[in-house]
Amino acid sequence: MYGLLNQIAGKTHSGAPAKVPAIFGMNFQSVYVGQSVYEAGVGGGGYQDAAATPSAELLGEIEYVDTCIGNIVAALQTAGLYNDTLVIITAKHGESPIDPTRYIADGTDTPATLLGDLIPYSESPLNSTGIGATEDDVSVLWLKKGVDVKTAVAILESDATEIGMGEIFYGPTVALNYNVGGWESGDDPRTPDIIVTPNVGVTYSSSTAMIGDHGGFTHDDTNVILLVANSSFTAQTVATASTTRQVAPTMVQVLGLNPALLDAVQQEGTQVLAEVAAQLAK
């Protein structure tokens, strides 16, 4: 945060004079740590119930971030920049499960463990020195070249209860959100062959220091705060569906540039946040 305060004051992170940037940005890890970590000698973070009542540890992290944001706003006001600044507060992911009674940590019965020698050795649980599988509260799987996807899917479906499987995506259902995967000409090997989303609360981890995680498609994972503020705005709560992907084109438009010049906007048709555009047009 102190580097950002220096930038607002017209300095580099180390305090030397510098031009004030047109865009400021930073990331807080405090709330995520407070949501997910149980540390011996410190206590357990997270929420106390399904109503998202924060634990004392998590509340402390929230209050810390709130204070930091207040310091940033005060710095903008001191520098005479506040009225001309659009403040956006959001998050790149949520945390699942919010309800602590739903949390299940299982690093043994996972999709990657079941498939074992059907996935690259570097990612296989059979390899103690590998990079490991991409698994938290989701399992993202790439198969070895030549392995039949439907064969692997059948293995997972036959043990669906053991791995706490909620949904499984492959083939056309994966291609709804990604390039067509595979090794054939024109396919994209970066796209996973299979994605498994477990039942709410199931996390493919053996860690005793975690009480939640992220990466999946659950409501707890994908619903995050999106607060947009400017001194000229009238306070309102927006009930229409909005996504964090709309933040980038909104920022570009606020800077007086054309959002349609962004490749992602051209390819996906991403819209600016309509309520922000309406407020700025007043």
Task: Give the end of a domain, one of 169, 203, 237.
Answer: 203
What domain range includes position 189? 104-203
Average pLDDT (187-206) is: 92
* 22/94 same-domain check: yes
pLDDT at 245 > cutoff 80: yes
* 155/243 same-domain check: no
Distance CA 137, CA 218 (A): 9
* 223/84 same-domain check: yes
Taking the model in full, what pTM does it have? 0.86
How many separate domains does the chain show? 2
* 83/111 same-domain check: no
DSSP single-letter state for residue 163: T
Q: Which helix (H) or strand (E) holds 258?
A: none
- Inside any domain, residue 245: yes
pLDDT of residue 239: 86
Question: What would the pLDDT profile of 176-193 be if each residue is shown by its tens digit?
Answer: 888 888 887 788 889 999
* 47/8 same-domain check: yes
Query: For residue 278, how many other CB atoms are within 10 A of its CB?
Result: 11
Tokens for 100? 């602590």
Question: What would the pLDDT profile of 136-173 be if each residue is shown by its tens digit?
Answer: 999 999 999 889 999 999 999 999 999 999 999 999 99
Q: Are 174 and 199 in contact (CB under 8 A)?
A: no
Tokens for 21? 């940037």
CA angle 231, 233, 239 (to 5 degrees): 140
pLDDT of residue 280: 81
Query: For residue 236, how many other CB atoms are within 10 A of its CB?
Result: 9
pLDDT of residue 182: 82
pLDDT at 279 > cutoff 90: no
**At 5, is the secondary structure helix, strand, or coil?**
helix
- Inside any domain, residue 212: no
* 72/157 same-domain check: no
Task: Give the end of a domain, one of 175, 203, 231.
Answer: 203
Question: What would the pLDDT profile of 86-113 be if each residue is shown by its tens digit?
Answer: 999 999 999 999 999 999 998 899 999 9
Task: Give the end of a domain, one of 171, 203, 235.
Answer: 203
Confidence band, pLDDT 50/70/90 cuts, at residue 210: confident
Q: Are 34 and 58 in contact (CB under 8 A)?
A: yes
* 9/87 same-domain check: yes
Minimal CA–CA distance to 110: which of 203, 9, 243, 172? 203
**Which residues on adjacent β-strands are paired with residue 47?**
54
- Inside any domain, residue 81: yes
pLDDT of residue 265: 94
* 95/15 same-domain check: yes
* 129/196 same-domain check: yes
pLDDT of residue 148: 93
DSSP string for residues in 38-83: EETTTEE-SBSSTT-PBPHHHHHHHHHHHHHHHHHHHHHHHTT-GG
- Inside any domain, residue 213: no
* 276/137 same-domain check: no
pLDDT at 40 > cutoff 80: no
* 143/70 same-domain check: no
Average pLDDT (273-279) is: 89
Residue with tokens 């206590």: 43
- Inside any domain, residue 211: no
* 91/28 same-domain check: yes
Tokens for 85? 């600044």
- Inside any domain, residue 214: no
- Inside any domain, residue 208: no
Q: Are 134 and 204 in contact (CB under 8 A)?
A: no
